[in-house]
Amino acid sequence: MNKTDFIARFGGIFEHSPFIAERAIAAEPDLALTADSVHAAMVAAFRAASREEKLGVLRAHPDLAGRLAIAGGLTEDSKAEQASAGLDRLTVEEHGRFTALNDAYTNRFGFPFIIAVKGLGKDDILAAFEARIGNDAETEFQTALAQVEKIAGLRLAALLP
């Protein structure tokens, strides 16, 4: 697959951050198109990014059950992921709790709460939210980066063998 096609196909794996795909294919132009190999190359590119670039990737993620979801502004991947956890079917009270946690978390850390929601329900996500909001800034930064990598792996597994 040529560079342009690779970026077009995988540029959204890391939320709104096609530079990850661009750097991955530049580093490994003969990359095998398997979920594991593409994930490994993209994770290597992500980990080699500057702290500011990583922060940009984190900030590109939407709030869980947030304003973009209500307005219909999520990427198709994010929309499907949030729906799989029931975040598109929250009660008014649950939505209020998510909104309050989203705001508190973003104010504390400077990026939205990120969690790979596959296999989780809204109660699991709320419990993780409430536990992680007490983390120190560096621990949470590293946790969010690991969750981004996990999300990328899940997205690639849905696309590739």
Tell me the per-residue pLDDT of 47-76, one tens digit each, with 9 for 90 and over.
999 999 999 999 998 877 655 455 455 567
Residues 49 and 67 in one domain: no
Q: Which of 16, 39, 61, 95 is catalytic?
A: 61
Would you call 99 exposed, middle or buried from its count of C-beta atoms within 10 A (0-12, 13-18, 19+)? middle
- Cα dihedral sign, 54-55-59-61: positive
> Active site includes 39?
no
Q: What is the pTM of this model?
A: 0.89
Mean pLDDT of 79-97: 80
Last residue of a domain, one of 11, 27, 55: 55
Residues 102 and 144 in one domain: yes
Residues of the chain with pLDDT > 90, as a percent, come to 73
Domain of 139, in residue numbers = 62-159
Longest dimension (CA), the chain: 51
pLDDT at 90 over 50: yes
21-32, pLDDT tens digit by residue? 999 999 999 999
Give the number of domains in the chain: 2
Residues 112 and 68 in one domain: yes
Q: CA dihedral in degrees (82, 141, 108, 86; nearest 10)?
A: 10
CA distance 41 to 115: 21
CA distance 46 to 19: 9
Q: Which of 65, 111, 118 is nearest to 90 (CA)?
A: 65
